[in-house]
Amino acid sequence: MSGQLRIKSSFNDIEGMLRKGQEQIDQVSQSLIRGMRGKQNYPFQSIVHFFIFHLGIKPFVKKKGTLYQGVRERWSKLGIT
């Protein structure tokens, strides 16, 4: 979402990992918080989600009929038809 964190540490050495990577952890944490507050728009992700929903999920739910009736009712309330 907003960054990566890679810290090399020995097995079961959480304290050592935290000491070595505290600065990295702080940077990635702040980047994540900024990303959540800023609600940045990702156009490519929106396009991919659109196609996944309209070509995959929506036809699947409609095909299942009464088995997904609760989902269809919720979509109806949200204006998704």
- The string of DSSP letters for 20-60 reads HHHHHHHHHHHHHHHHHHHT---HHHHHHHHHHIIIIIHHH
CA atoms of 23 and 6, how far apart (whole Å): 12
pLDDT on residue 73: 92
pLDDT on residue 28: 81
DSSP at 9: -
pLDDT on residue 51: 95
9 close to 17: Cβ distance less than 8 angstroms = yes
pLDDT on residue 71: 92
- For residue 24, give both structure tokens: 């990295």
What predicted TM-score, i.e. pTM, was given to this entire model?
0.50
List pLDDT tens digits, range 29-67.
888 888 788 877 778 989 999 999 999 999 999 999 889
Question: At residue 25, what is the residue type?
Answer: I
pLDDT on residue 1: 53
